[in-house]
Chain A
Amino acid sequence: MEATVVQTGTEGKTWGGGTSPFKAKYGKMMMWFFILSDSLTFSGFLASYGLMRFKFADSWPIPDEVFNHVPFLHDVEAPMYFVAFMTFILIFSSVTMVLAVDAGSRMKRNQVAMYMFLTLLGGFIFIGSQAWEWATFIKGTYGAVETNNREILQFVDTEGKRVAVADFVAESSVPRVEHERNVGVWYKGEPKFHTGMAMQDVIAGFKANENVLVRIQEKDEYGQHIILSRDESIKKLENDGKEVVLGANLIRNEYGHPVFADFFFFITGFHGVHVSIGLMLNIIVFANVLIGTYERRGHYRMVEKVGLYWHFVDLVWVFVFTFFYLV
């Protein structure tokens, strides 16, 4: 057999079957390949989000106006603060994770447990913040009017500050009769009625309030939404106005194009699912650290593998943060 052994001069540099490929353990290498494929999935989502932004380049919602809420502070416009806080939380939980991996390489069980706990804490704070962010986004603040060709008309006062629809429109004066099966020929159930405000109430309320103007989605050359004059506003509402929209769902939202909310829900939701899976994995690893599984195994490689996944979640958030909140 010895005669068949061929020396290629690459021993120790490439994988000959005996040693680990790339000098990496199997699990870690596979985690890297999973991360590669998952990052391609996320970049597919973010690229399609980019496509929609390029498509609607001069009518996309301004992120600073949409995401400007902070918990416990009502009526305070504070763009960026809350997302910046979320970003710091996630980066910090990444730091504690890498400290746990480092303590694991030195076989310090108590330190690993402590850092894993801090990582879990950071993850839970992040996912809670994201839930709050979603709830605020879904609830909406000002409301808007949707037109027949699915434009969104928002309302501002003469100084350009946003005005909530409910501030100038009275509750519906038109009694609304629910559609029932025995009246309809082709009864399919009634679509959910969004608000108590009918379009004619909006027009009446708008006419009664002299200092309210309509702001359309299209932007001027400085990237600000165009505000119509009083006459144009009334004309636009009477000709095109269809219904009042409050908050956001997958079909319509008060912030602008329907795809804006769709992408927000889908991409931050997909990221949130990743965070949740990461939390589950972290809990399993944390429990195993506590009962001493890795101590008996003689190495803490599992912490490192799950750590890679957790850092990847942080990495994705860095990009989501940039493309949803900054750009």
Chain B
Amino acid sequence: MAHDSHNLAIFRGRLKFKNTISKIWGVFIVLSIVTAIEVILGMFRPEILVRTTFLSLHLLNWIFILLTIVKAYYITWDFMHMRDESKGLRRVTVWSGVFLICYLVALILIEGDYVYEVLSNGHIKTGF
């Protein structure tokens, strides 16, 4: 913890905190609000969002994934202090992770969709 110069602003500098402790509580409030939105949406599942699909996934699921990434960002950037690390460390860890995960997920989900197509349109119906 040699660096005493914590970056105290979140939301691209729009929200600035006095000290590190108030920033930690501020980020906790942000995370709680995002989780609360997720839980409320998960309980009520608004019809419009479930019926509308975008890229073969309905809108509600896109919202959930987006909010999850927002939460992941604040946990990494403020709780794990990624905001205060040097640019090099940030890129080495976050960029490699994000790139590899996107690649893996894209390939595997395309494969899953293909298997679904085979099961619903091919000769094999079920049972494996």
Bound-state CA distance A295–B93 (Å) is 31
Q: Is A250 an interface residue (CB 8 A)?
A: no
Q: Closest Cβ of chain B: how far from A242's Cβ, in Å?
A: 12
Q: A32: nearest residue on chain B (CB-CB)? A: B93
* Known interface pairs A95-B25, A322-B68; A84-B109 also in contact (CB < 8 Å): no
* Known interface pairs A40-B100, A300-B1, A315-B76; A54-B93 also in contact (CB < 8 Å): no
Judged by DSSP, the binding face of B is: helix
The total of interchain contacts (Cβ-Cβ below 8 angstroms) comes to: 147
A47 touches B127 (CB 8 A): no
Q: A150: nearest residue on chain B (CB-CB)? A: B127
A102 touches B20 (CB 8 A): yes
Q: A85: nearest residue on chain B (CB-CB)? A: B39
Bound-state CA distance A301–B1 (Å) is 6
Select B1's contact among A23, A304, A318, beta carbons within 8 Å: A304
Known: A80-B43, A91-B31, A326-B41. 4 other contacts (CB 8 A): A51-B115, A55-B115, A55-B119, A149-B127
B interface residues (Cβ-Cβ under 8 A, vs A): 1-2, 4, 20-21, 24-25, 28, 31-32, 35, 38-39, 41-43, 45, 50-51, 61, 64-65, 67-68, 71-72, 75-76, 78-81, 85-86, 88-89, 92-93, 96-97, 100-101, 104-105, 108-109, 111-113, 115-116, 119-120, 126-127
29 residue pairs bridging A and B, Cβ less than 8 Å apart = A14-B88, A22-B89, A22-B92, A23-B86, A29-B89, A32-B89, A39-B97, A40-B100, A43-B101, A47-B108, A48-B108, A51-B111, A52-B112, A53-B112, A80-B42, A95-B79, A98-B24, A101-B1, A149-B126, A150-B126, A150-B127, A311-B80, A312-B80, A315-B76, A321-B38, A322-B38, A322-B65, A322-B67, A326-B38
A interface residues (Cβ-Cβ under 8 A, vs B): 14, 21-25, 29, 32-33, 35-36, 39-40, 43-44, 47-48, 50-58, 64, 79-80, 84, 87-88, 91-92, 94-95, 97-99, 101-102, 104-105, 149-151, 222-223, 299-301, 304, 307-308, 311-312, 314-315, 318-319, 321-322, 325-327
